[in-house]
Amino acid sequence: MSITTTSTETNSSQKRFTLGASKMSGNYAARKRKSQIMEGILFLAILLALTPLALILFEVIRRGASAMNIEFLTSVQNISLIREGGGYLNGLVGTLYMVAIASIIAVPLGVATATYVVEYSDSKLVPFIQFFTDVMTGVPSIFVGLFIYTILVQGGGGFSTLAGGLALSLLMIPIIARASEEVIRLVPDDLRNAAYGLGARRWQVVMQIVLPTAGSGLITASMLAVARAAGETAPLLLTALGAFKIVPELLGSPQAALPLIIFNEARGPFEPAHARAWAGALELMLLVLLLTLIARAIGRKTEAAI
Amino acid sequence: MSSDANVFQRPAISRRGKSSEDVWFQRALALAGASVLIILAAMLISTTINAWPVFAHSGWSFITSAGWDPGISRTEITGSYGALSFILGTLITSGIALLIAVPLAVGCSLYLTNIARPTIGRPLAYAIDLLAAVPSVVYGLWGLLFFIPIFIRPVLKLIADTLGEVVPFLDGPVVTYNYATAGIVLAIMVLPIITAVTREVMSKTPIAEIQGAYALGSTRWEMIRAIVLPRARPGVIGATMLGLGRALGETVAVAMLIGGSEQMPTTLFQGGQSMAGVIAITFQEASPENIKALLGVGVVLFVITVIVNMVARLVIWATGGRIAGDAAV
């Protein structure tokens, strides 16, 4: 803050010029002290808000690291909650598999939505799309799972990798669309005009100028959505279900996922399962954090480049 | 470069003066954009159709009564389904979450926008955003095995012992996992989105008004009271609604921490169940008619959250545009 009040002027005339809206009484020193106390309270709010973050990171690292080993990373799930041993490899594979499917569906759709919103902003449809994209980010993820259950699982498809991937894709679309929209808006109009000046068609401008320019920003947007989707549990309960082995099939067999295994093993009363759940949480957090950090790093580069 | 050659080709011109490629390109993008609307409509229609037998069987008592006694029929509805205790569970936990998170988020935003230097404020804001990146199952695990039994339960016991006699709903034996514990962890989870929106709104306070307040001799707190807070009020309301939408729909962390009981709430310190929670916990073992009933719970949850979210977005749009940043999605 560059603006600071001069604390030396504490004469009585000051009172007349203070704001009527706020409750002010007493001399300037008392008011100043009150302000400092309130500022201290606001700082306490920050500390209070960040305490859980510190506690989560500390506890997940502490308990996760003590249960994490090569066996955990390289072997599939132990069927027994009571016995020690086994890992979450099936969950990691399943999560990556479903997130990949979700990305294949959600990235083109999300980017196309954002492109339409920015490049065809004269369309009457655009405000509705923007509004409902925002609303869709707030749809409960478990409801997305229910929806996929009714159209895919129930109809005979059964629990499958595809069902899980589809559910995740529906959660990713609005996130990608919103974030991409901000990126595409950053592309300067000069570039578009230069292309039009060379005789380019609108679709050529979009495909050959706008999207390539926004490229790395679009990757950032997509990766943030991937990071979100990788940590989702609720929709997968109703679509992927879970599996104790590595499942290569796209359809016809339930699929495992890291968050699903953590959810199941944490809820029981058994210590070996709890230890694995902490290691799984560490693995999942590292995966999400890695994706988020890469996305942010690419994003900063883009902003600098544009 | 072959792609550049395209630019100079004379495209086919349609009667309306646009090349046909352009028309098709625009249509394809419009369809992609409209997919959001189509998906939302399809979600509501498909789940409602599947849940309809239960709605027809239970009528309004589905949301106004509390008996949840699933039958085991494959074809008809034989059990009784009243989701009131789940609806209340969702409302109570969300209410507790907002009661804690909103003042905290406002305090954080005030500090970040008005007090902290950017060199300190930016990393702090980043750290709060990071709370949104923690998967909800990790919140659940952490709450279940660490935070609730070690930190929260003793505090809640103390509250029940001291205030329980006088304040309604704060009495009774404190079970380890209850409405309050789920609400407290939920507060941590919705804090980043409320802070992100509030911060954005507060950062738009006109600098002239801030300087005006200082020129009139205000202290910083007086400036905040007189200028920043009144201007931010609509934004804070929008942020609260957005946080509410998030809290209502949060599933696994609440399901793990709320205690999993179907009884009606009489105190905050008893075990309960939320709408999303009952779906998550009982779906996998549910009979066909029970699944229809859970779909019905989902439809009720969807309708409530979509209305809350629509109001929230309208309020935030009215305060001057959408909110950027990934904590806000």
DSSP string, B173-187: ---SS-HHHHHHHHH
d(CA B190, CA B243): 5
Interface test with B, best of A135, A182, A274 (most B CBs within 10 A): A135
- Phi-psi region at B171: left, alpha or beta (left = phi > 0; alpha = psi -120 to 50): beta
Residue B87 corresponds to which tokens in the numbers above? 């609806």
Q: Is residue B133 part of a domain?
A: yes
State the pLDDT confidence band at A1, using cuts at 50, 70 and 90. Answer: very low
How far away is chain A from the Cα of B175, in angstroms, using its nearest Cα? 16
Looking at residue B17, its pLDDT comes to 53
Question: Residue B217 is nearest to which of A18, A131, A144, comparing CB atoms?
Answer: A18
Q: Which residue has the higher pLDDT, B318 or A162?
A: A162
Contacts of residue B57, defined as CB under 8 A and 6 or more positions apart, other chains included, come to B77, B81
d(CA B288, CA A248): 28
Question: Residue A262 is nearest to which of B137, B191, B326, comparing CB atoms?
Answer: B137
Sign of the Cα pseudo-torsion (A188, A189, A190, A191, in order): positive
Looking at residue B9, its pLDDT comes to 46
- Interchain contact B177–A (C-beta under 8 A): no
Sign of the Cα pseudo-torsion (B60, B290, B259, B131, in order): negative
By C-alpha distance, which of A269, A226, A250, A263 is closest to A91?
A: A263
Question: Could you list the residue range(s) of the whole structural domain that residue B197 is in?
Answer: 80-328
How far away is chain B from the Cα of A173, in angstroms, using its nearest Cα? 8
Question: Residue B220 is nearest to which of A39, A150, A154, comparing CB atoms?
Answer: A39
* Number of structural domains in chain B: 1
> Torsion over CA of B170, B173, B177 and B183, rounded to 10 degrees?
0
Q: Which amino acid is at A275?
A: A
- Interchain contact B22–A (C-beta under 8 A): yes
The answer to whether the beta carbons of residues B104 and A42 sit under 8 Å apart is no
Share of chain A above pLDDT 70, in %: 90
Q: Which residue on chain B is closest to A124 by alpha carbon?
A: B30
pLDDT for A31-52, tens place per residue? 999 999 999 999 999 999 999 9
Helix boundaries (H) for chain B: 2-8, 20-58, 61-64, 84-110, 118-130, 136-142, 153-163, 179-202, 207-215, 220-223, 229-249, 252-257, 275-282, 288-318
CATH classification of the domain holding B264: 1.10.3720.10
Q: Which of residues 69-108 of B touch A (CB under 8 A)?
A: 103-105, 107-108
Note the residue count of chain A.
306
Give the predicted TM-score (pTM) of the model: 0.90
Chain B residues whose beta carbon lies within 8 Å of the beta carbon of residue A14:
217
User: Residue A289, class by beta-carbon neighbours within 10 Å (0-12 exposed, 13-18 middle, 19+ buried)?
Assistant: middle
- Interchain contact B65–A (C-beta under 8 A): no
Looking at residue B322, its pLDDT comes to 66
Residue A142 in this model has a pLDDT that exceeds 90: yes
Residue B134 corresponds to which tokens in the numbers above? 């923690």
By C-alpha distance, which of A288, A169, A126 is closest to B37?
A: A126
> What DSSP designation does B325 have?
S
d(CA B278, CA B272): 10
* CA B84 to chain centroid: 20
The mean pLDDT of chain A is: 89
The answer to whether the beta carbons of residues A136 and B36 sit under 8 Å apart is yes
Packing angle of the helix pair B229-249, B288-318 (nearest 10 deg): 170
pLDDT for B66-117, tens place per residue? 989 999 988 888 989 999 999 999 999 999 999 999 999 999 999 999 999 9
Chain B residues whose beta carbon lies within 8 Å of the beta carbon of residue A52:
131, 147, 188
Q: Under an 8 A CB cutoff, do A277 and B141 touch?
A: yes
In the block, tokens 């008809």 appear at B76
How far away is chain A from the Cα of B181, in angstroms, using its nearest Cα? 14
Looking at residue B325, its pLDDT comes to 53
Looking at residue A306, its pLDDT comes to 63
Contacts of residue B235, defined as CB under 8 A and 6 or more positions apart, other chains included, come to B197, B198, B200, B201, B202, B316, B319
E-assigned strands of B7-100?
68-69, 80-81
- Interchain contact B112–A (C-beta under 8 A): yes
- The widest CA-to-CA distance across chain B, in whole angstroms, is 84
Q: Is residue B68 part of a domain?
A: no
Q: Under an 8 A CB cutoff, do A35 and B213 touch?
A: no
Beta-bridge partners for B80:
B69
The answer to whether the beta carbons of residues A291 and A223 sit under 8 Å apart is yes
Whole-angstrom distance between the N-terminal and C-terminal Cα of chain A? 28
pLDDT for B317-327, tens place per residue? 887 766 655 55
Q: Under an 8 A CB cutoff, do B19 and A146 touch?
A: no
Looking at residue A267, its pLDDT comes to 92
Q: Is residue B189 part of a domain?
A: yes
The answer to whether the beta carbons of residues A228 and A175 sit under 8 Å apart is yes
Q: Under an 8 A CB cutoff, do B40 and A136 touch?
A: yes
Residue A268 in this model has a pLDDT that exceeds 80: yes
Q: Is residue B118 part of a domain?
A: yes
**Ranges of chain B with pLDDT below 70:** 1-18, 321-329
Looking at residue A194, its pLDDT comes to 95
The answer to whether the beta carbons of residues B36 and A113 sit under 8 Å apart is yes
Chain B residues whose beta carbon lies within 8 Å of the beta carbon of residue A132:
36-37, 40
- Interchain contact B40–A (C-beta under 8 A): yes
Q: Looking at domain A70-305, which of 1.10.3720.10, 3.30.930.10, 1.20.970.10, 3.40.50.170 is its CATH number?
A: 1.10.3720.10
Looking at residue B317, its pLDDT comes to 85
Residue A248 in this model has a pLDDT that exceeds 90: yes
